[in-house]
């Protein structure tokens, strides 16, 4: 089969690789119908994530058709159309049983990522996250398939359903973590794909105003199309503007969707947030960050909420919102490419301008 494989910094290749096989009774094999490049895939592309090996198959955002199931996957049969959560969860451990599927104890037990603990395994995201082959391929092996993949009704298209794999739940959880009440003003740093879903989710959850902070025009335009107030940090003093837009008090909650490349955004969010507010951090973080304004966070009584996304519990409620027509997630797609052009897609997404989200069709 064909798959996008990692070879090093800015070196990804489409290659012939062996097709995956059922390895455990709870596995399924999915024939990928649509997959996407994620902002966090760019960290792999830049070679900043340790634990990658030459030839690793990339991709954690994918959906497809079930072509084979193990003997303990009673919920799926050949021909079912499914979206697969990007994080791999067993469904049985303490964390899975309590809705914290991104913290599953059994899908990545060998890792030692969080200074002694580890989050769940991820498809196509290095051997620190379990070394699972990814979904930017014609076929994927899905472990714990009796718990993860969600069936998609025939009237929901692939482009509407695909982002239930990661970025829609990720943006939604970021907004849900803000405990939004009617009248709230939410500021969102970073208007990439996750930021776009955080903005729309904040409105779905009742925000009065959402302020979208970025410096890339195409992203700010997309945010404005959703009703957000765009704020270009290249042209304006963000702290000052946020004060002006909130009667000097600061946003009720701040979402940092700028990812791990922007510790500045986290500092700004903490300093800008109103007293007693929430700072929600959905973007991937790693390591340590200097000059963390803990004094400001303490004296203002802020709540910090973060963590990898618990995709599983959000999938069904968000599918319901799509079915009701409250949101059509395909709004975020700017480019549609064949899988064979994956390397060009990585390069294009890395350049960012003019590009919000790339989907790839095997």
Q: Provide the minimum distance between the beta carbon of 128 and Zn ion in the complex, in angstroms, as a whole number.
A: 16
Write the binding mask 212 to 251 for Zn ion: x where contact by CB under 5 A, - elsewhere: ----------------------------------------
Q: Provide the minimum distance between the beta carbon of 87 and Zn ion in the complex, in angstroms, as a whole number.
A: 10
- Which residues within the stretch 87-146 sit at the binding site for Zn ion (CB under 5 A)? 89-90, 93, 96, 104, 106
Find the radius of gyration of the CA atoms of the chain. Answer: 20
Token pair belonging to 52: 């990658």
The HSE-up count of residue 287 (CA atoms within 13 Å, CB side) is 11
Q: Provide the minimum distance between the beta carbon of 290 and Zn ion in the complex, in angstroms, as a whole number.
A: 26
Spatial separation of the C-alpha atoms in residues 34 and 322, rounded to whole Å: 18
Cβ proximity to Zn ion: between 37 and 210 the closer is 37
Give residues with Cβ within 8 angstroms of 239, minimum separation 6.
268, 271, 272
Angle value at C-alpha 190, between 43 and 225, nearest 5 degrees:
130
Cβ proximity to Zn ion: between 241 and 349 the closer is 349
Residues in binding contact with Zn ion, number by CB under 5 A = 9
Cβ proximity to Zn ion: between 125 and 203 the closer is 125
Q: 113-120 — which CB contacts under 8 Å span 24+ positions? A: 119/87, 119/307, 119/308, 120/87, 120/88, 120/89, 120/308
CB–CB of 223/196 below 8 Å? yes
Cβ proximity to Zn ion: between 40 and 177 the closer is 40
- Which residues within the stretch 14-73 sit at the binding site for Zn ion (CB under 5 A)? 38, 61
Q: Provide the minimum distance between the beta carbon of 122 and Zn ion in the complex, in angstroms, as a whole number.
A: 9
Spatial separation of the C-alpha atoms in residues 258 and 263, rounded to whole Å: 8
Dihedral sign for Cα 169, 174, 175, 178, please.
Answer: positive
Given the rule CB under 5 A, which of 13-21, 162-170, 304-312, 339-347 is the region that contacts Zn ion? 162-170
Q: Provide the minimum distance between the beta carbon of 94 and Zn ion in the complex, in angstroms, as a whole number.
A: 8
Angle value at C-alpha 102, between 357 and 104, nearest 5 degrees:
150
Closest residue (Cβ) to Zn ion? 38
Q: Provide the minimum distance between the beta carbon of 201 and Zn ion in the complex, in angstroms, as a whole number.
A: 16
Cβ proximity to Zn ion: between 38 and 69 the closer is 38
Cβ proximity to Zn ion: between 138 and 170 the closer is 170
Q: Give the residue carrying structure tokens 């549609």.
A: 336
Q: Give the residue carrying structure tokens 């802020």.
A: 302
Cβ proximity to Zn ion: between 250 and 329 the closer is 329
Q: Provide the minimum distance between the beta carbon of 273 and Zn ion in the complex, in angstroms, as a whole number.
A: 26
Cβ proximity to Zn ion: between 104 and 174 the closer is 104
| 166 makes contact with Zn ion (CB under 5 A) | yes
Token pair belonging to 277: 């507010």
Q: Binding residues for Zn ion, per CB under 5 A?
A: 38, 61, 89-90, 93, 96, 104, 106, 166
């Amino acid at each position: 089969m064909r798959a996008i494989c990692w070879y090093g910094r800015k070196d990804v290749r489409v290659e012939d690789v062996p097709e995956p096989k059922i390895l455990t009774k709870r596995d399924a094999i999915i024939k990928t119908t649509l997959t996407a490049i994620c902002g966090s895939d760019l960290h792999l592309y830049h070679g900043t994530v340790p634990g990658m090996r030459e030839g690793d198959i990339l991709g954690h955002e994918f959906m497809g058709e079930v072509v084979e199931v193990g003997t303990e996957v009673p919920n799926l049969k050949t021909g079912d159309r499914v979206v697969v959560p990007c994080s791999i969860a067993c469904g049985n451990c303490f964390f899975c049983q309590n809705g914290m599927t991104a913290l599953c104890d059994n899908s990545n037990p060998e890792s030692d990522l969080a200074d002694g603990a580890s989050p769940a395994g991820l498809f196509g995201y290095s051997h620190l996250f379990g070394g699972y082959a990814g979904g930017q391929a014609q076929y994927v092996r899905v472990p714990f398939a009796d718990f993860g993949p969600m069936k998609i009704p025939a009237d929901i298209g692939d482009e509407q359903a695909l982002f239930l794999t990661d970025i829609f739940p990720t943006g939604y959880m970021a907004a849900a973590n803000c405990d939004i009440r009617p009248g709230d003003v939410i500021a969102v740093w970073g208007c990439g794909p996750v930021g776009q879903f955080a903005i729309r989710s904040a409105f779905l959850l009742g925000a009065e105003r959402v302020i979208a902070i970025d410096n890339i025009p195409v992203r700010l335009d997309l945010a404005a199309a959703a009703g957000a107030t765009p704020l270009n940090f290249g042209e304006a003093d963000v702290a000052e503007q946020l004060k002006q837009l909130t009667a000097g008090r600061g946003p009720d909650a701040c979402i940092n969707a700028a990812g791990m490349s922007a510790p500045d955004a986290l500092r700004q969010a903490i300093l800008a947030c109103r007293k007693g507010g929430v700072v929600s951090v959905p973007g991937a973080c790693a390591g340590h960050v200097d000059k963390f304004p803990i004094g400001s966070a303490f004296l203002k009584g802020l709540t910090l909420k973060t963590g990898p996304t618990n995709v599983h519990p959000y999938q069904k409620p968000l599918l319901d919102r799509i079915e009701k027509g409250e949101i059509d997630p395909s709004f975020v797609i700017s480019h549609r490419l064949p899988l064979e052009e994956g390397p060009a897609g990585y390069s294009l997404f890395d350049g960012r301008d003019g590009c919000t989200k790339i989907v790839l069709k095997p």
